[in-house]
Copies of this chain bind each other. A is one copy, B any other.
Amino acid sequence: MQKKGLLRDVIQHLCCLPGVGPKTAQRMAFQLLQRNRDNAKALADILLKALAEIGHCQQCRTLTENTLCEICADPSRDTTTVCVVESPADVWTIEQATLFKGHYFVLNGHLSPLDGIGPDELGLDELEHLLAKGDVKELILATNSTLEGDATAYVINELAIKHKVEASRLASGVPMGGELEYIDRGTLSHAFKGRRKIE
C-alpha cells in the first residue's frame, strides 16, 4: 500500500520535528489519530495559539507572549549584568543550572555569513544601544563553544571594548565527571591552556 492522502501528509509534517524520522513520525501519527484524538486536537490548537501570540521580548529578544519576558519584567533582577546567549532554550538552561540573577540578551542564532545571518539578524545594534546607555557593567558571553559561537563572542567582545564594558566568556575545559581518556583533543588543549591555581 502506498502511503497516500492525509495520513501521509500528517507523517511528512511530523518528520520536520527535530529528531523525528519517518518511522517515529508514523508511530506518532497513528497514536495521535487512533488513541489520542483529544490530545491531538489540543496540540494543534495550542500550536496555532502559540504561533499567533508568542513573539520576541522587546528587551532581551527571548520568546514570550508578552511585550517583556518574565525576567526583563522582574524588578528584582540585576540590570548591570547581561548574559548573551544564542537561543531562548539557553536562557532556561542557565536559569536552571546557575544562580545568575542578571538579565539576558538572546541573539536567536550565531554569526553565519554563508546562511545570511549577520549582525542585524542577531540584534547586535540593539545590544550596542543597550551598552551605549551605560547601565550595563558586565557582559557574560555564553554563546556555544563552537566555531560560530566563538566568532560571535569575539565580535560582541569588540562592542564591549568599544563601550568600555567588561566582558567575559564561559570557561571551557574538561566537563565535570569527564575522564581525560575520552575527551577530545580540542577540549583538552583548551583545558591545559586555561589551567588555574587550586583555591
Residues of A in contact with B (beta carbons under 8 Å apart): 1-7, 9-10, 13-14, 16-19, 24, 26-34, 36-37, 39-51, 53-54, 63-65, 70-71, 87-89, 91-92, 95, 108
Q: Is the CB of A7 within 8 A of B95?
A: no
Given contacts A1-B70, A41-B48, A71-B1, contact A31 B13 (CB under 8 A): no
Is A34 a contact of B95 with CB atoms below 8 Å?
no
Contact, CB under 8 Å: B6 / A65: yes
> How far is B45's CA from A10's CA once the two chains are assembled, in angstroms?
10
A6 and B44 contacting across the interface, CB-CB below 8 Å:
no
A49 to B51, CA, bound (A): 18
The verdict on A95 contacting B1 (CB below 8 Å), with A6-B49, A37-B51, A65-B6 known, is yes
Give complex CA distance A27, B20 in Å.
12
Residues of B within 8 A of A36 (CB): 16
